[in-house]
Structure 1
Amino acid sequence: MSRVLIVGAGLTGSLCACLLRRELQNKVHIVVWDKAKGSGGRMSTSRPPDSSSHSADLGAQYITATAAYAQSHHSVYSELMAAGVLQPLDGLVEGLRQRDGSTDYMTPLGMSSVVKHFLSESADLFFERHVTGLYRRGASWEVQRKAGDSEMFDAVVLTMPVPQILQLQGDVGHMLSVEQKQQLDGVVYSSRFALALFFPPDVVFSFPWAARYVTNNRSICYIAADSRKRNADGPGRGPSLVVHTSVPFGVEHLEKDKEDVQPIILQELHKLLPDLPQPISIKCQKWRYSQVLTSVPDCPGHMTIHDRPLLVCGGDSFVHSNFDGCVESALSVLSVLKASL
C-alpha cells in the first residue's frame, strides 16, 4: 500500500484526498498534514475563544459558480448542495457585480464546512505538522517537520502557497528546472487583513445588507454581517461582522503585528458604521497570501517536480484563484497520482 502525504488541509488538499480515497479505495494510505490548528486554509471559519455560539468566515466569503463551471464541476456542487453544505446566497450584497449565468452560494455552517466535508471520509488528518524539508531516499521521500522528526512517504503533494514551497529545505530546490523556478518565482499574491467582531445575542444590525463592497475607502474594501449572510441568526446566537481590508492597506501594514493594525481598522470601520454596538470579542487575521494575482502561466492545475518518487504541487497558484480553480487543480493532481500509483 502506497503512503501518500498531502501537505495542506485547504480546499485543494482536502478534495484531492477525498477523490483519491474514492478512486483507489484501500490501495493507498492517505495522510494530510497542516501547520495550522484546524482545517480550511483560506476557507477557514473562526470562533472566539470564549464562545461556541459565534463563528465568522475570515477568508473566503461566498462561492460564485459560472455557468461553465456549474456544468463541468456539477458533481462537486450537487454533492455539497445535497449535503446541505452549500445553499444559494439570497441576502443583499451591495456593490456586487452580477455576471450573466453565475450563481452565488453561501455556507450555512461556515466556509470550513466545505473542507471538512471532504476530509470527513478521506484521510488521516494531523494538525500542527509544519513541513520544513523534503529529502529523496531511494524510491521514497523523507519529509521533515519543524518539530525535528520525519516520516517516509511514497508520494507527496504540496498545496501550500508557492513561497512556502520555495522555502523548503532538502532536494526540492535542486530538482526544479530553470523554467519551473522562474514560473514559481513569478507567482504573485495579494495580502490583506481581516477582522471578525462578535456581538451579544440581543444586538440587531440597523443596516439592511448581508454584505457590502466598500468604494472610496483606502483601508476597507468589504464588510459582511456574516451570520446574516449565512442565515445563521437565531435565538441565543450573537451576530458577527467581518471586515476585509484593501490590498494596498495590507501591503502597507504587512510587516506590522496584527495587534497594532487592529485599532486602525476599527477606527476606519466606525467611520463607515458609526452606530455599530460594542463587540464582546474581536479576532484579527493577517492573510500574507490572500488571493493569487498572477498564477503560473498556461498551467494545467499542477506542477510535477519529480516523477519517481512522485512530488507534485497543486493549488490555485497553478490555475486561478477561486473555488473552481482549486477544484480544477485537485482533479489535475488526482490524475497525476492515479497515473503514478
Structure 2
Amino acid sequence: MLRVLIVGAGLTGSLCACLLRRALQNQVHITVWDKSRGTGGRMTTRRAEDSVGADIGAQYISATEFYRKEHHSLYSELLSAGVFVPMSCPVEGLRQKDDSLNYVSPNGMGHIVKHFLQQSEAEVQLLRHVTCLSRRGAFWEVEFSEGRSEAFDAVVLTMPVPQILQLLGDVPECLSEQQGALLAQVQYSSRFALVVSFAKDSSLDIPYGVKYVSDSPIVRYMSVEHQKRSKDLSSLGPSLVVHTSVSFGAAHLESPLDQVQPIIFEEVQRLLPQLPEPISMKAHKWRFSQVLTSVPGCPGHMTALEKPLMLLGGDAFTHSNFDGCVESALSVTRELTQRLSR
C-alpha cells in the first residue's frame, strides 16, 4: 500500500485527502500532519466553553455562478450534509458580484475541513511541525519538530509558500531555478483576528450579522457569530469576531499579541460603544492571511520532484478563497492519481 503524506490540515489538504481516498480507495494509506493543535488551517473555528464558537479565519463562502456550476458536486455534498447553508443574515458594506451567493457553516467553518477529513479516513496527526525532507531512494524521509521521522512514497505540501521555502533537506535542490523564481513572487497579507466573548443573556444590540468597516484605520470586518450562522443562543453567550485591516496587520506584524489586543479592542469599543463587558477575549495573528500575489499562471499545483513524488498545492497556486482551494485540491489529486496508479 502506497503511503502518502499531506502536510497541512486546512481546506486544500483535507479535500486532497478526501478526493484521493475516493479515487484510489484502499490502494493508499493517507496521513495528514499539521503543526497546530487542531485542524482547519485558515478555516479554523475556535471553541469556547460558555459562548458561541468563533471563526477566526475564513468567515463564509462567497460563490459565483461559475463556480457553483464548476464545483456543483462538492457544493451539493456540503449542502446535503448540512455542513454549510445559505447565509441569511444582513451584511453591511459588502461589495459583491450580482451572481454570487453566500454560504456559512452552522457549526463553524472548521466543520467543512472536519467533514473532508472524516470522509478521507486519513490518519490525522497534530502538533507535527515538519522541518526537513530528505530523499532516501524511492522514499521521502520527513522529519518533524520532535526530531523523529517517517518515510512516505509521496508528499504533498499545502502550507504557505514561505514556510515551504524554509524547509531543510532536499526541497531546495528539487526546485528548478524557474520554479524557485515563481514561488518567490508569492505574497500574502497579514491580519489580526480578535474574538470577544460575552456572558449568557448578554445583548450586543447589533442589527447586522456581518459588517465591512470603511471608517476605521484598524478594524476592517466584524461578525456577530450567532447572527451570522443563525444559531440559537438559549444556552450560550454571544461572540464577536473582529478582523483588522491589512495596513494595521503589516504595521504590527512583529508586535506581541498582548500589546496589539488592547489596541484592537479599544477601537471596537469606539465603533460599538453599547457593548456589554466581555467575559474573555483572545487575539490571533495571521501572518499568512490571504494570497495577494499567486504563482503566475495559477497552475493549481507544482511538481517539485517526480521520483519520489513531491507536489506543492494550496491557494497560492490558484486564488485565495474556497473555490481557489478546491481548484488546487482537484489539480493535486489528478496529478497524484495519475502518477500513483501507474
| Common topology (TM > 0.5) | yes
Matched with 1:295 is: 294
Matched with 1:236 is: 235
User: Aligned to 2:24, what secondary structure does the other structure show?
Assistant: helix
Trace 1:54-69 onto structure 2 (pairs within 5 A). 54-69=52-67
- Superposed CA deviations along residues 144-180 of structure 1, whole A, max 9, x for unmatched, are 1110000000000000000000000000001111111
Matched with 1:327 is: 326
Structure 2 residues without counterparts, runs of 5 or longer: none
Trace 1:102-251 onto structure 2 (pairs within 5 A). 102-122=100-120, 123-251=122-250
State how far apart, in whole Å, the 1-side matches of 2:182 and 2:94 are: 33
Computed over aligned residues only, the root mean square deviation of the Cα atoms, in angstroms, reads 0.8
- Superposed CA deviations along residues 27-56 of structure 1, whole A, max 9, x for unmatched, are 0000000000000000000024xx155310
State how far apart, in whole Å, the 2-side matches of 1:179 and 1:231 are: 48
User: Aligned to 1:85, what secondary structure does the other structure show?
Assistant: coil
State how far apart, in whole Å, the 2-side matches of 1:90 and 1:284 are: 27
Shift, 1:233, TM fit: 3.0
- Superposed CA deviations along residues 192-244 of structure 1, whole A, max 9, x for unmatched, are 00000111111122121001110021100011101210112321111100000
Shift, 1:308, TM fit: 1.0
Matched with 1:279 is: 278
State how far apart, in whole Å, the 1-side matches of 2:42 and 2:231 are: 21
Kindly indicate whether the alpha-carbon contact (under 8 Å) linking 2:50 and 2:237 is maintained by their aligned counterparts in 1: no
Kindly indicate whether the alpha-carbon contact (under 8 Å) linking 2:10 and 2:40 is maintained by their aligned counterparts in 1: yes
Kindly indicate whether the alpha-carbon contact (under 8 Å) linking 1:66 and 1:102 is maintained by their aligned counterparts in 2: yes
Query: Is 1:23 the equivalent of 2:33?
Result: no
- Superposed CA deviations along residues 119-166 of structure 1, whole A, max 9, x for unmatched, are 012100000011001000000000011100000000000000000000
Aligned partner letter, 2:45: T
User: Aligned to 2:119, what secondary structure does the other structure show?
Assistant: coil
Kindly indicate whether the alpha-carbon contact (under 8 Å) linking 2:213 and 2:222 is maintained by their aligned counterparts in 1: yes
Kindly indicate whether the alpha-carbon contact (under 8 Å) linking 2:18 and 2:117 is maintained by their aligned counterparts in 1: yes
User: Aligned to 2:319, what secondary structure does the other structure show?
Assistant: coil
- Superposed CA deviations along residues 98-126 of structure 1, whole A, max 9, x for unmatched, are 31211000110000000000001210000
Kindly indicate whether the alpha-carbon contact (under 8 Å) linking 2:50 and 2:199 is maintained by their aligned counterparts in 1: no
Kindly indicate whether the alpha-carbon contact (under 8 Å) linking 2:51 and 2:200 is maintained by their aligned counterparts in 1: no
- Count of residues paired in the alignment: 339
Matched with 1:83 is: 81
Kindly indicate whether the alpha-carbon contact (under 8 Å) linking 1:8 and 1:33 is maintained by their aligned counterparts in 2: yes
Query: Is 1:35 the equivalent of 2:32?
Result: no
Kindly indicate whether the alpha-carbon contact (under 8 Å) linking 1:233 and 1:239 is maintained by their aligned counterparts in 2: no
Q: 2:90 aligns with which of 89, 92, 97?
A: 92
State how far apart, in whole Å, the 2-side matches of 1:104 and 1:168 are: 37
Kindly indicate whether the alpha-carbon contact (under 8 Å) linking 2:4 and 2:152 is maintained by their aligned counterparts in 1: yes
TM-score by length of 1: 0.98
State how far apart, in whole Å, the 1-side matches of 2:91 and 2:52 are: 21
Shift, 1:266, TM fit: 0.6
State how far apart, in whole Å, the 2-side matches of 1:52 and 1:6 are: 34
State how far apart, in whole Å, the 2-side matches of 1:111 and 1:259 are: 26
User: Aligned to 1:121, what secondary structure does the other structure show?
Assistant: helix
Aligned partner letter, 1:140: F
State how far apart, in whole Å, the 2-side matches of 1:53 and 1:281 are: 10
State how far apart, in whole Å, the 2-side matches of 1:190 and 1:117 are: 28
Shift, 1:295, TM fit: 0.2
Matched with 1:305 is: 304
State how far apart, in whole Å, the 2-side matches of 1:32 and 1:175 are: 22
Matched with 1:315 is: 314
State how far apart, in whole Å, the 2-side matches of 1:32 and 1:151 are: 12
Kindly indicate whether the alpha-carbon contact (under 8 Å) linking 2:219 and 2:244 is maintained by their aligned counterparts in 1: yes
Kindly indicate whether the alpha-carbon contact (under 8 Å) linking 1:62 and 1:106 is maintained by their aligned counterparts in 2: yes
Matched with 2:68 is: 70
Structure 1 residues without counterparts, runs of 5 or longer: none
Matched with 2:336 is: 337
State how far apart, in whole Å, the 1-side matches of 2:13 and 2:268 are: 35
Q: 1:101 aligns with which of 77, 94, 99?
A: 99
